[in-house]
Amino acid sequence: MGRISEERKEILLRRYGNINVMNGPGGPGRPRGGGPGPRGMMAFGKPKNVSATINRLLSYIGKGKIKVMFVFACVLGGTLANLAGSYILRPLINNLVYEDRTALEKARYLAAGLIIMACIYLVGVLCTYLQQRIMIGVSQNALVKIREDLFRRIQKLPLKYHDTHTHGDIMSRFTNDLDAVGEMLNHTMTQIFSGIITVIGTITLMFITNWVLAIVTITTVPLLFYVGGMIGKLSRRYFASQQKVLGAVNGYIEETVTGQKVIKVFCHEETAMDEFEFLSDELRKEQMKAQFFGGIMGPVMGNLSQVSYALTATIGGILCLTANFDIGGLTIFTNYSRQFARPISELSLQMNTIYAALAGAERVFEVMDEPPEAQDAPNAVEICSEENCAEGTQPIKGEVVLNNVTFAYVPGKTVLKNISVTAKPGQKIAFVGSTGAGKTTITNLINRFYEIEEGEILIDGINIKDIKKDSLRSNIAMVLQDTHLFSGTVKENIRYGRLDATDEEVIAAAKIACAHSFIERLPQGYDTVLDGDGANLSQGERQLLNIARAAISKAPILILDEATSSVDTRTEKYIEKGMDRLMKNRTTFVIAHRLSTVRNADRIMVLEHGEIIEQGTHDELLALGGRYYQLYTGAIELD
């Protein structure tokens, strides 16, 4: 650990404890990193708008308002039963010290009092049971609704939101933040209400029992609040530091586990162990502080209450001797004195939970309040391929035209400048150029993942803004460089391209993609279950399934985004064969790093810095001797 510089230590804590975001896909806005974030990274600190957040949470709970009212009635009943049960001790103890009653009378009075006390406590137990049972149902119903609303909103958010937020950040809303909200709804609300009722009831009964002792006891309250507040403040601060370092530890573990091959290739094991040892040691330091201050709250408050108890008992004893104060009254008063600090201590301890829950709820509602994708125009039409058209939809052949399209992910930083492209039905249009030239951006605009600022995009003469988005995207099939397979069978993953496809159509699509033969060799063939994003398949096999998924969609427009860049040459030939079958009779846009894959394109567009600098067929561009010629001959390289 001593080999790590102070600068590197600071970088480790900052890099793995926070989320780094740039400004766009492929460059501006693309998040650094991805994948689920570490658990335990709760939102600490005070929420920004307490009243608005509470009102919004109550709107979810309010749907079971009758049950909530019954719960609070049970809390009230249970708290009062506990207080009343303690108060019954006064006449019972006084009965035992009365000298004018016989032993039999005292026994009968004691038996009757114990029965009454047992009935009161039984009511309290019943109220507590009902309160817990019903409140958990109410809170879980509210959480389910919040979770469903959050998931629905995420499905409707534009791609821009997902490009500018890491997967871990989004996942934390479902896990850490909702866990904190659930903890508050399940227990904290009823505990706060119970604590308040207990404090009010205890103070009232203490004044009824003996007002002098009540004043003595209450004078210790400011001290309890002061000490509890100081410890709570330190506890919150150290718990926040603990969670930050915990995030750094988990983030480092996630990155090193997924990058084990790279670590071993470059013999980085010792450095990785040193860096992890540093992070782990930092976590131990912060955990010791957090757990210490979190753990001493109870004992400190308990000892302070014992001081108050001893003071009350001493003064109460003097009053029994000098002011005719009854023994039963002193007994129950000292009991109330001992219990008096408990609800105050519990309320102090609940503040961390409340702050975390409200801050977490704010983060959840923040996502819910994000503007969704722009709604379809009132007169938007539905389109379909000519061979697969339903009644009331507009058949299209697949002509795509981009007229002077200009676009920027971030205002003032133009990514595309006056792009004009015409793709006739069945033509293959290729885009080549350096990383960040705008190739993928064009395909994202055709899908309306982003709205263009200037110009227009037409499909068979219809502006895509006048086409329903679901209809538009269902008629554009995509094969991406990064394949994503869902947990399920091979058949289900292919059918994801068109859910109503028959088994025969699934097999036909697999044959088009040249995937049928390898699928047949799998243990259960098309019924083989894929887990972990198809981890039991090679990269090439996963890409062939991706092509089959696109084939089954029957979309007249096809987009291939560097579909062969991460496979070997032999596998590439199979994939290219599958793609050639897939592209037949479809308008196709191809993005490729390997220029050999675009030689047979009807038109090749060479992009640099968001502008088309050359265009033509493969032979025309070679004859031109410009940028494409340099790229193809290796005079310069694609970066």
The backbone torsions φ and ψ at residue 455, rounded to the nearest 5 degrees and listed phi first, read 85, -170
Residue 340 reports pLDDT greater than 80: no
d(CA 330, CA 11): 62
Q: Burial-class residue 386 by CB neighbours within 10 Å (0-12, 13-18, 19+).
A: exposed
Residue 568 burial (CB count, 10 A): 11
Strongest mean pLDDT among 42-46, 310-314, 427-431? 427-431
Residue 115 reports pLDDT greater than 80: yes
Give 231's pLDDT tier (boundaries 50, 70, 90): confident
Residue 570: the pLDDT is: 65
Q: Are the C-beta atoms of 246 and 279 separated by less than 8 Å? A: no
d(CA 543, CA 481): 8
One-letter amino acid for residue 481 of the chain: Q
**Phi-psi domain of 398 (left: phi exceeds 0; alpha: psi -120 through 50; beta: other):** left
Choose among 203, 182, 77, 76: nearest CA to 139: 182
pLDDT digits (tens, 9 = 90+) for 437-457: 888 888 889 988 888 888 999
Strongest mean pLDDT among 21-25, 172-176, 246-250, 529-533? 172-176
| Percent of the chain topping pLDDT 90 | 10
On the CB side of 423, CA atoms within 13 Å amount to: 30
One-letter amino acid for residue 60 of the chain: Y
d(CA 344, CA 301): 9
Average pLDDT (36-46) is: 41
Domain ranges of the chain: 48-209, 485-554
Structure tokens at 362: 């704010």
Q: Three-state secondary structure along 325-382?
A: CCHHHHHHHHHHHHHHHHHHHHHHHHHHHHHHHHHHHHHHHHHHCCCCCCCCCCCCEC
Average pLDDT (1-22) is: 59
One-letter amino acid for residue 20 of the chain: N
Residue pointed to by tokens 């997924």: 258
Average pLDDT (481-495) is: 83
Average pLDDT (295-324) is: 78
Q: Are the C-beta atoms of 618 and 624 separated by less than 8 Å? A: no
Concatenate the DSSP letters of all residues of 6-45 into one string: HHHHHHHHHHHHS--B-EETTSEEPBS--SPPPTT----S
The answer to which of 279-283, 548-552, 574-578 has the lowest mean pLDDT is: 574-578
Average pLDDT (407-416) is: 85
Residue 122: the pLDDT is: 92
Q: Element (H or E) spanning 190, and its range?
A: helix 189-209
SS3 of residue 236 by DSSP: helix
pLDDT digits (tens, 9 = 90+) for 565-585: 555 666 667 667 777 777 778
Give 402's pLDDT tier (boundaries 50, 70, 90): very high
d(CA 592, CA 590): 6
Residues 616-634 as b or e (16 or more Cβ within 10 Å = b): bebeebeeeeebbbebbee
d(CA 538, CA 522): 12
Residue 627 reports pLDDT greater than 80: yes
Choose among 443, 496, 513, 492: nearest CA to 472: 443
SS3 of residue 563 by DSSP: coil
The answer to which of 28-32, 336-340, 395-399, 521-525 has the lowest mean pLDDT is: 28-32
Alpha helices in 513-586 (DSSP H): 516-520, 539-551, 569-583
Chain center to CA of 343:
34
Residue 116 reports pLDDT greater than 80: yes
The answer to which of 39-53, 207-221, 472-486 has the lowest mean pLDDT is: 39-53
d(CA 106, CA 97): 9
Residue 459 reports pLDDT greater than 90: yes
Q: CATH says 485-554 is which class?
A: alpha beta
Average pLDDT (28-32) is: 35
Q: Are the C-beta atoms of 471 and 479 separated by less than 8 Å? A: no
Q: Are the C-beta atoms of 32 and 22 separated by less than 8 Å? A: yes
Choose among 58, 85, 335, 72: nearest CA to 194: 72
Residues 213-243 as b or e (16 or more Cβ within 10 Å = b): bbebbeebeeebeebbeebbebbbebbbbbb
Residue 381 reports pLDDT greater than 60: yes
Domain 48-209 fold is ABC transporter transmembrane region fold (1.20.1560)
d(CA 426, CA 10): 56
Determine the Cα angle at 352 with ends 348 and 354, to 5°: 95
Chain center to CA of 107:
63
Residue 247: the pLDDT is: 67
Average pLDDT (124-146) is: 87
On the CB side of 293, CA atoms within 13 Å amount to: 23
Residue pointed to by tokens 């871990």: 168
Choose among 322, 448, 295: nearest CA to 377: 448
Residue 352: the pLDDT is: 67
Give 82's pLDDT tier (boundaries 50, 70, 90): confident
Q: Are the C-beta atoms of 29 and 163 separated by less than 8 Å? A: yes
The backbone torsions φ and ψ at residue 226, rounded to the nearest 5 degrees and listed phi first, read -65, -50
Beta-bridged to residue 23, according to DSSP, are 28
Residue 31: the pLDDT is: 34
Residue 574: the pLDDT is: 66
Q: Element (H or E) spanning 608, and its range?
A: strand 603-608
Cα–Cα distances in Å, from 526 out to 369, 377, 503? Answer: 42, 41, 9
Residue 23: the pLDDT is: 37
Residues 516-546 as b or e (16 or more Cβ within 10 Å = b): bebbeebeeebeeebeeebeebeebbbbbbb
